[in-house]
Structure 1
Amino acid sequence: MSCRISELVLNCKDPELLAKFWSDVLGYVELDRDEGSIEIGPSDAGFGGLQPTIILSPSSNPRAGRLPLHIDVNPVDRDQAAELERLLALGARQADVGQTGEEQWHVLQDPEGNEFCLLRRQLEDAA
């Protein structure tokens, strides 16, 4: 018996803002709305598919910055430098967590300050 991650929940001040940001980053679509929460995920699979969905849940006290768990993303249709430009244009910001400058990844923050990393390796598109 085993488990699989089906969804990630991110408490946030502005679910609309982060749903738009993360949908644009990941190529996800809105799947559901419930009591202020917005669920986004792959258009062809949705909840229960091989890729987890993300629920942006409203919170008056979300934690921002260095969370115990963060999201790593990889480019799928361009190299890392081009993807970094795209993410910054979408509203991501560079984050300094003590990197040396020699890392093969970029530490970024979403519009609410939640850290995530852009890794170097280009992956195949899941679609």
Structure 2
Amino acid sequence: MTLTVGMITTDTTDAESLASWWAEQTGAEVAETNDGWFAIVRGGSLPVWLAFQKVETVTAGKNRLHLDLTTDTDLDAEVERLLAAGATLVARRGDESFRWVTLADPQGNEFCVSGKH
């Protein structure tokens, strides 16, 4: 048996809003909204679907699973674009041989962005 990743789902208190934010950042589209309780983002630069599931309360603390994204443009410029779009800076990491930046989306879910490696 072989498993493949079909979708990555994130809990959120506002599925449509967070789906729209991620769709805008990845050049994808919100493909389904399901009355606001479950939204699916697909297309653009995404190799898998992203889903956002409405919950009453999100789990507090650092998420144990996160997206590692790469950019084929300037890393610093991409980070500034994401910050201007509503992401928050968690930490700049690495050294001159490999750098990445940890950010959080508008709902506090952490993700990392690096240059191509």
1:79 equivalent in alignment to 2:80: no
Runs of 4+ in 1 over 4 A off after TM superposition: none
Distance change >3 Å, CA 65–CA 75, structure 1 → 2 = farther
User: Offset at 1:2?
Assistant: 1.2
User: Offset at 1:65?
Assistant: 4.4
Give the TM-score normalised by the residue count of structure 2.
0.84
> Helix, strand or coil: the match of 1:82?
helix
Gaps of 5+ in 1: 44-49, 123-127
> Helix, strand or coil: the match of 2:115?
coil
| Aligned mates of 2:89, 2:111 — CA distance in 1 | 10
Q: Which amino acid aligns with 1:75?
A: T
- Give the corresponding residue for 1:19: 19
User: Offset at 1:30?
Assistant: 1.2
> Helix, strand or coil: the match of 1:66?
coil
- Give the corresponding residue for 1:106: 101
Give the strand-richer structure, 1 or 2: 2
- Per-residue CA deviations over 1:42-76 (Å, capped at 9, x if unaligned) read 06xxxxxx821011110112125411111111114
| Aligned mates of 1:106, 1:65 — CA distance in 2 | 19
* Contact in 2 for aligned 1:12/1:112 (Cα 8 Å): yes
User: Offset at 1:34?
Assistant: 2.0
* Contact in 2 for aligned 1:80/1:121 (Cα 8 Å): no
> Helix, strand or coil: the match of 2:77?
helix
CA RMSD of aligned residues (A): 2.2
Q: Which amino acid aligns with 2:20?
A: K
When the two structures are aligned, how many residues end up with a matched partner?
Answer: 113
> Helix, strand or coil: the match of 1:86?
helix
Give the TM-score normalised by the residue count of structure 1.
0.78
| Aligned mates of 2:47, 2:39 — CA distance in 1 | 17
